[in-house]
Structure 1
Amino acid sequence: MRWIISFLLCLTATLSPDFTSYADDTPAITKQPVGETADGERIYLYTLKNPNGVQAEIMNYGGIMLSLRVPDRNGKLGDVLLGYADPMDYVRTGNKPYFGAIIGRYANRIANGSFVLDGTTYHLSVNDGRNTLAGGVRGFDKRVWKAEGTKVPHGSGLALRYWSKDGEEGFPGNVWAKVVYTLTDDNVLRIDYSAASDQKTVINLTQHNYYNLKGQGNGDILDHLLTIHAERFTPVNPELIPTGQLQRVAGTDLDFRRPFAIGSRIRSRDPQILYAKGYDFNYVLSGKVGTMRHAASVYAPASGRRMDVFTDQPGLQLYTGNFLDGSEKGKDGAAYGKHAGLCLETQHFPDSPNHPNFPSTVLAPDKPYKQTALYRFFTSP
C-alpha cells in the first residue's frame, strides 16, 4: 500500500497541469483536423506562433513537429525542419526516418532487444536487425497523444499526454508520459518531458527533429558549422551498439569542441564513422548531469541562422541523416538525400539498461522522470 500511495503522489506531481490550459483557438495557437488513424483515432494539427512571426506546427500523432519557421539574417522566415508535405503521410508511410517525432519509451538502441531489471529479463520488439530502435515497432512516435493548449508567461505551447500500457513493446509497467512544446517570445523552442510508472521500468525520451538551417530542401547540412561541448563519446560496434566504453574525442574526427564544418571530416576512414556512414554518435556532455548547460551550437553561413542547444541530460546524439537516400519526398517536392538534415537529440546514453557504468535510466514509482531541452534560434550578419 505504501508504494501505491508514493506512486500516486509522484504521478500527481509529475503529470498535473503545470501550465494554464486555455482554448485551442487563440491568436497564439490554432487547431485543425487532418484525418484519422486506421483505428479511428482523430489526428489534429496545432500551430503555435509568437509575436516575431516564428511558427511551429505539431500533430497529436507521434507528437510530431511538422515545421518550424524562423528568420534568416535578412528577416525572411523559412522552414528549417525536414518532413512530409501532407500531415497524413506520416501515418501512411510509417515515417521511417522518424521526422520530428517524440521517441519513447526508449530513445536510440537497446542491444538484442532485451535487458535485465531486478533479475527479470524483458524481451522487447526488435526493429533494427536483432536490436530495438526508438522504442520498438510501434513506439511513442506512432501513437496518438491527448493534446491541450497551454499558456506560459512569455510564450505559448502544447501539452501532450500518453498512457503506455504495461507490456507495450515488451517494456514493463504502466507509464504516464507528458511532453510540453513551448514556443517562447524570444524564439526558443522548449521541450519539457515527464513520466511516472507504477512499477520499475526504463525510460529515455527525446525528440527527433531534422534541422537544416539553410531551410528544408535547400541541399545538405555539410556546410553547417557545429560545436558540441563534450570531451568524450560512447564508441559503438558495427551494429551501432555502445561498447560500454567512454572514449575521448581528442585526436579523432568526432571532435567538435571547436566549430567544424560537418562535411569537413564526414568521409573519414575512422572506423566509427565508417560504421555509422557519417555521424550517429552519443556525446558525453560536459558539466553536471541534471543542470541546464550549453550542449551544442550550429551555424549555417548561407542563411545566417544559428541554433544553440541546452539540456539537463547526460548525452546528446548527433545524427547527420546518413540513411536518407532521396526516396523520402518532403515538403515543396524536395527529395531528401543523404545528409539533408541533422538531429541533435538530448538523451541518456544508448543501451544504458545493459551497461551498469552508464547513468541509470531506471524509472521507479517513487522517482518520476523529468528533462528539459531548449533550442534557441538567432542570426548572425
Structure 2
Amino acid sequence: MTLPPDIPQQQPASTGRIFNGLHSAYFDGDAPVPHDVTLMVETQRRVLEIGLPASTTAGVHWPLDEIRVLEDTAGQEGVILRWIGDPLARLHLRDSDVMRYMHHLGRRAPPKGRGRLAVWAFAAVAAVAFQVGVLVPLLANQLATYVPAAGERALGEATFGQIRQALAGTGLPPLPVCENEKGVAALEKMLVGLGVERGTDDAIKIFVLDHEMVNAFALPGGYVVFFRGMIDAAQSPNEIAAVLGHEVGHVANRDPTRHALRSAGSIGILGLLFGDFAGGAAVLFLTEKLISANYAQDAESGADEFAYIALEDANVSPAALGDMFERLRDEYGDTDGIVSHFVSHPTLTSRIERSREAAHATGEYGDILGDPDWAGLKNICN
C-alpha cells in the first residue's frame, strides 16, 4: 500500500509529547475483537503508545521505527499497521495524521528470530557431524564383529564388481582381471610365504586389475585387489609382499567391513538430509570410498605391524614397505595424488621410519620370490 500523498516525510520539529485522540481499532491477535483505543506519540522516545480501554491495565508501546504498513488490505478504509515485534497484532487507522511520525512504514521487516534460527542451524550441523564423526564409526566398529562371513563375502564380491564397472566406464565391459598363469601362481606362492591360510572357503582372494593406477586395497570378505600400476612401480617382489602383507592385515582386522559400514551409515544420514541418496550416486560414492580408503590411524598402524611380523616370519625385510613408500613419496608427494591411499594420519615419512626400525634381524634377509616367479608376476597382465 502506498502512503497518502499529503503525509509529510519530515519529522515535526516538536520534541515534546503529542497526544492524538484518533479513533482507531486495535486487534491484539488473541481474539478477533477490535478495541477502540487512543494514540499518543512520544517524539523523544519515538514510541507510539496505544491506549487500551479502561478495563485493561496496561497499554501497548510500539517503537515508531518498527511500525510497518500491512500490504494488500483490499476493502479496508484507512490503513492497517503492524509492529515487527508482534506478528499478530494489528492497528487499523482511519486517520493517517499520526503516520507522519513513522519514517519506515514501507521498509521490509528483518526476519524474526534470526539469532534463534542461527542457534538451531548450528545445533543441526553439530548433530549431523556428531552422528557421522562419532556415532556411525562407533556403531560400525561394533557391528563389524557380528557380520557373518557369508555376508562379508557377498558384500566384497558385489563391491568388486562395482569397482570393475566404475573404472571401465558406463556401457563398457568391466575392467579385466589379469590372469596370466605364471603371475597368478607367483601371487599364490607369495601368500603362502607370508603365512596366509589357503585352500579354505574363507581364504583371502587376491586379484590384479589391468589398470595403471598405483594402488592396492582390501574389500570386505577377504578380497585384496592390486592394480597393474602398483606391480609396475615395484622394483622387487619384497615390495609387493610388503604391500600385500599390509592389506592382509586390514583383512585380518576386518577394517574393510568397518569402513563399508561407516560409509553406508554416512550415506544413510546424508540421504535423510538431502533426499534420495540411495541410487547410483550412493553406489559410486561407496565405491570411491573403498578404493581410496584412508583408515584411521590405529587401523593403518595395526596393518603395518601385521605386515612387519609376516615379513619377518618370511625372512623378508620389513624395510621393503618403507622402500615402496619412499619411492612413491618422492614421485607423488607425501599426502597428494594416488599415494594418499596410504596416508591417513600417519605420514608416509613416519611409516617409512617405522618400517626400517622393524628390520632388526642380525642376518641377511632374502627375497620372497625367485627371479622366474618375479618375472611371471611382472607380466601377470600380459
Q: TM-score range by the shorter chain?
A: under 0.3
User: What TM-score, normalized to structure 1?
Assistant: 0.24
**Structure (1 or 2) with the greater strand fraction:** 1
Query: Which structure has the higher relative contact order (CA within 8 Å, separation 6+)?
Result: 1
- Computing the radius of gyration from Cα coordinates, the structure with the larger value is 2
* More helix, by proportion: 2
